[in-house]
Structures are given as C-alpha cells and as structure tokens.
C-alpha cells in the first residue's frame, strides 16, 4: 500500500470531542484553502471552551470569560496555534477520519519545510486526542507523551517503504 499524503494517527477517547475536532479541522481547512484570515476572536467562538483551555492567551483583547492554561512548557498561545494552522503551515488539510477508537488526519505538504507536525499534535491534544504516530512524508515517528502537554518523537522505520 502506498500512502500518498502525510498523516497523524491518534487515539479517540470521547466521541463528542472527536466530532468537535472534525468540525474545527474542516473550518481550518476551509479558511486555509480560501486564504481567509479570520480574527482570533472568531476562532474563540469556533473552538470549544475545553479546547481553548489547553492554551494560554497572550493578547489582552482576547480574554475569554473562563480560565485558560498558564504559560509553561508544552503550552502554546491560542493565537499562536491558530496562526500556525491557518497561516503558517504550508499544507492542504485533507481528511479527518476514524476507525473505531483510532483517528487520522491527512494533509498534503506543499513544500519542505512545511511547518512540521508539532502544532497539529498540540491541536489534536486540545480535543483529548493523543497522537500516536506521524508520517511527515520523509520521516515516520512514534509519538511518546512525557506529560499532558509535552511529547517527543521516536523515529521509526517507515511501515510503507523499504528502509
């Protein structure tokens, strides 16, 4: 089997959160494809509260009506994750699918470097979906979670290529 696109596989532990993930992923894909830069305030209305709580807010103008994460290791700013996914990643977002309790997002990197999978892994984690493996096109990684927000990559032989 030849895998055509880059992807990240992840564990699904909550069906409703996976449904939310699919909706937000589709809106990010749509905005990216249309090259439509929406204000951060818009994205605060799109991301569910539980997801936003995984990030810290660096703008005084953006403060939601609920507490968000403290700035520390592994925690991204909300504005930073949105900018990274919508503006900075040099990719086309494709499918977000599931097979039982496993999910997968696929994307097509338009060039290298394209921005890496780190931001996508953080995004998935904010929906309670823990990334397990990532195929960056050239490299294949197992994702090892060190804590709730900190992970590392373990390079593995690619399962679909002769290494």
For residue 142, pLDDT over 60 is answered with yes
Report which of 70, 56, 54, 65 is spatially closest to residue 21, judged by C-alpha positions: 54
For residue 2, pLDDT over 60 is answered with no
Kindly report the length of the chain.
163
5-31 residue pLDDT tens: 899 999 999 999 999 999 999 999 999
For residue 3, pLDDT over 60 is answered with no
Residue where the block lists tokens 């700035």? 71
d(CA 157, CA 42): 41
């Amino acid at each position: 089997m030849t895998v055509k696109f880059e992807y990240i596989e992840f564990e699904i532990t909550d069906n409703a959160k996976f449904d939310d993930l699919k909706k937000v992923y589709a809106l990010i894909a749509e905005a990216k494809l249309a090259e439509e830069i929406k204000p951060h305030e818009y994205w605060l209305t799109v991301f569910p509260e539980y997801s936003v709580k995984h990030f810290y807010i660096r703008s005084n103008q953006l403060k939601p009506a609920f507490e968000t994460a403290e700035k520390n290791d592994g925690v991204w700013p909300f504005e930073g994750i949105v900018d990274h996914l919508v503006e900075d990643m040099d990719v086309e977002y494709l499918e977000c699918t599931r097979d039982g309790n496993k999910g997968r997002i696929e994307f097509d990197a338009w060039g290298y470097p394209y921005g890496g999978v780190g931001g996508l892994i953080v995004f998935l984690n904010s929906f309670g979906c823990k990334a397990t493996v990532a195929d960056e096109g050239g490299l294949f990684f197992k994702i090892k979670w060190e804590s709730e927000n900190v992970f590392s990559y373990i390079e593995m032989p690619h399962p679909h290529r002769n290494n």
